[in-house]
Structure 1
Amino acid sequence: MKYKLLGRSGLKVSELCLGTMGFGTEAGWGATKEQSFEIMEAYANAGGNFLDTANIYKLGTSEKIIGEFMHPRDRDYFVLATKYSLLDNKTNPNASGNNRKNMMRSVEQSLQRLQTDFIDVLYLHIWDNLTPIDEVLRGLDDLVRNGMVNYIAISDTPAWVVAKGNTLAELMGWSQFIALQVEYSLLQRTPERELIPMAQHFGMTLTPWAPLAGGALTGKYLRGDFGRIKEGSNRLNERSQSITKEVVAIAEELGVQASHVALKWTMQQPFQSIPIVGATKLSQLQENLKTIDVTLTPEHMQRLDEVSAIPLGFPGDFFKEEGVRLNNFGGFYDKIEKR
């Protein structure tokens, strides 16, 4: 396992992040505590140190299982990321949202479930369109200054909100977001319109969730294994099938699994990207870990980029049009430089 710096920080995390949303058997699915322990042990033995969870996952069971696993082990080896925002109880109207009251309550309860004194990376889970961003940033900075949180990050939030937040934090001397978690895969490339360019500008690492598009990019839907997917899902449409067929074709050329190709595509982007790979079975983790030994050629990347390309909309596509490229104004700039 190789390690990367997370955003504009000195925090070293493994190139694959272990997603733990399936730790716990609530709602009739997921990994038992024993299976979860087995998965985390194998991940750590492979050099993995980056765990992703949330207060809402399995109604807190995911955090509890992680806490029980880490308690007798070296806590400092692991980089533990969790989240706040979504409803985790129905006791009061402030038991959800981005507000400071919910933030402090959620973090205190997460620390108890995780059996730790600090959270390495705390994400705002989803933007609520209610709380002022300065309230969020000031609260998160207080958590960092109090030693309860080491770094802050943000998930599922409009690019303009994140940009405003990091700019405000820089101005005020507060902690800035170092990672951005969004859905990103060969089937979901819309973050390339605004979110990813914004993250690049601020030096934030992208941590894609659903990098395999719920398993669609493994090719299982092409084989008729529809599982729990809903009829009419975009992951079953003609475009998704065309993309998946290309993934499968490249996998066959390389002698690897389709999942390895789809994951590696997210890892070989020209920006810092660490995909989150979930597992409820040890075999799933073991299969995903093989991705680190796979390399896609420039030709493979081009084929995948072309088959999955999306319109960037305005102004992205406008900038690409002939005659609008910035270097076409070179003559104008030459005149300015000569003055």
Structure 2
Amino acid sequence: MNYKLLGRSGLKVSELCLGTMGFGTEAGWGADKETSFAIMDAFADSGGNFLDTANVYKLGTSEKIIGEYLQNHDRDYFVLATKYSLKDNQTNPNASGNNRKNMMRSVEESLKRLKTDFIDILYLHIWDDLTPIDEVLRGMDDLIRQGKVNYAAISDTPAWMVAKGNTLAELMGWSQFVALQVEYSLIQRTSERELIPMARHFGMTVTPWAPLGGGVLSGKYLRGEKGRIKPESRRLDDHSVRITQTVVEIAGELGVAPSHVALQWTTHQGFSCIPIVGATKVDQLKENLKAIDVKLSPEHLQKLDEVSKIDLGFPGEFFREEGVKMNSFGGFYDRVEKR
């Protein structure tokens, strides 16, 4: 694999991130420890070093499996990201949320499960709409100064709040968020309205979760010539079927799997992007890793953009309309290029 810098930091991470939400067999699904170890081995053998987990994944089992794995491998080779926010026990009213008390408790528990002295990247998992953003950033900065965390990041939070936080951090001399984790794929592009432009402005790397749309973009739900689908996914509708059919068509032209096309598309959108690829089987991971060798032509990208485009709303649509005159004084007019 090639390596990319994470946001405006000097941290080098692999061009694909391994999602470990499926490490553990709680809830009747997932990879057992032996399989999880084999998946991480295969990922590392391919040059992958970027691992993504969270305190709540498989009730903490994901972190425990990674921790046991790291005991017999080079900890410094791997860039380990975990998260805090969601409830991971029933001990007290502050066992969830973005507050400093939960942050500090969660990090200490994660360090124990991961059997490590430091976390490379700490994400706020999801915005609680309660905690002041300055409390979050000061807490993360304190953890960084203590050497327990190397970099701050944020996930599933409104763009205006992230922008406020990074601006405040810059003013106060605190560590800024270097990465933004959001759902993003050919069938989920609504983050292009505010979140992704914000990330681009601040030089943040976007780490999309569900870049294959929960498996929809792999084409596995398409059945028959008429594109009949199985109804169990909330992401399945007529629009996603049309998109997936286009992905499958391009994949056929290139002689690759549809998932390779869908993953590559996310990395060609004009901003720093490292998709998170989950796996519960070694063969599944190896298949997804083949995506790094796929080359999409400008024509392929245009076709995918057209079939999956969304209404950006105001002011996004206003800005990208051809011929919009952008001058408040009316003395000079310039054509605004299409997005």
1:56-107 Cα deviation digits (max 9, x unpaired): 0000000000000011211000000000000000111100000000000000
Three-state SS of the structure 2 residue aligned to 1:214 is coil
Tell me how far apart the structure 2 counterparts of residues 131 and 329 of structure 1 sit (CA, whole Å).
42
SS of 1:37 mapped into structure 2:
helix
What residue ranges of structure 1 are gaps of 5+ in the alignment? 335-339
The residue number in structure 2 matching 1:31 is 31
Contact 2:326-2:333 within 8 A present in 1 as well:
no
- Residues 300 and 27 from structure 1, CA distance in 2 versus in 1: closer, same or farther, beyond 3 angstroms? same
Map of 1:87 onto structure 2: 87
Query: More helix per residue: 1 or 2?
Result: 1
Indicate whether 1:244 and 2:222 are aligned.
Answer: no
Offset of residue 9 of structure 1: 0.3
Superposed, which structure 2 residues align to 1:137-286 within 5 Å?
A: 137-223=137-223, 226=230, 229-230=232-233, 233=234, 235-286=235-286
For the pair 1:124 / 2:131, whether they are aligned, the reply is no
Deviation per CA, 1:90-145: give whole Å up to 9, x if none: 11110000000000000000000000000000000000000000100000000000
Q: CA deviation at 1:236?
A: 1.8
SS where residue 264 of structure 1 aligns?
A: helix
1:337 — aligned with what?
Answer: none
Q: Distance in 1 between matches of 2:132 and 2:328?
A: 41
Contact 1:319 1:325 in 2 (8 A): no
Q: TM-score if structure 2 supplies the norm length?
A: 0.95
Letter in 1 for 2:187: L
Q: Which amino acid aligns with 1:208?
A: P
User: Is the Cα contact below 8 Å between 1:81 and 1:120 reproduced in 2?
Assistant: yes
Q: Deviations over 1:309-339 (max 9, x none)?
A: 00000000111234435379795389xxxxx
CA separation in 1, counterparts of 2:279 and 2:155?
A: 20
AA partner of residue 186 (structure 1): L
Number of residue pairs the alignment of both structures matches:
330
Distance in 2, matches of 1:321 and 1:78, equals 44
CA 1:305–1:322: 2 relative to 1, 3 Å: closer
User: Match of 2:82, as an amino acid?
Assistant: T
CA distance in 2, matches of 1:331, 1:283: 62
Quick one: distance in 1 between partners of 2:320 and 2:13?
35
Partner in structure 2 of residue 71 of structure 1: 71
| Deviations, residues 249-300 of structure 1 (Å, cap 9, x unaligned) | 0000000000000000011221110000000000110000000100100000
- Residue 225 of structure 1: how far off its partner (Å): 7.5
CA contact 1:220–1:226 (8 Å) conserved in 2:
no
1:26 and 1:58 in contact (8 A); partners too: yes
SS where residue 129 of structure 1 aligns? coil
One-letter amino acid of the structure 2 residue matched with residue 185 of structure 1: S
5+ residue gaps in structure 2? 335-339
Instruction: Give the whole-Å Cα distance in 2 for the aligned partners of 1:333 and 1:322.
Output: 13
Q: Does structure 1 retain, via aligned residues, the 8 Å contact 2:325–2:333?
A: no
Q: Secondary structure at the match of 2:80?
A: strand
Q: Which amino acid aligns with 2:137?
A: L
Task: Tell me, in whole angstroms, the C-alpha distance in 2 between the residues paired with 1:320 and 1:5.
Answer: 30
TM-score calculated relative to the size of structure 1? 0.95
More deviation, 316-325/290-299: 316-325
Distance 1:111 1:309 in 2: 42
- Tell me, yes or no, if structure 1 residue 41 matches structure 2 residue 41: yes
| Rounded Cα–Cα distance in structure 2 between residues aligned with 1:282 and 1:304 | 29
Residue 325 of structure 2 corresponds to residue 317 of structure 1: no
Identity %: 78
Alpha-carbon distance between aligned partners in 1 of 2:310 and 2:129, rounded to the nearest angstrom: 27
Q: How far, CA to CA, are the matches of 2:270 and 2:118 in structure 1? A: 32
What RMSD over aligned residues (CA atoms) do the two structures have, in Å?
Answer: 1.6
Question: Which residue in 2 is equivalent to 1:135?
Answer: 135
Q: Does 1:55 align with 2:75?
A: no
Q: 1:329 to 1:275 in 2, by over 3 A?
A: farther
CA contact (8 A) 2:190 2:312 kept: yes
- CA separation of 1:21 and 1:197: change in aligned 2, threshold 3 A: same
* Contact 1:67/1:113 (8 A) holds in 2: yes
Task: Name the aligned partner's letter for residue 18 of structure 1.
Answer: L
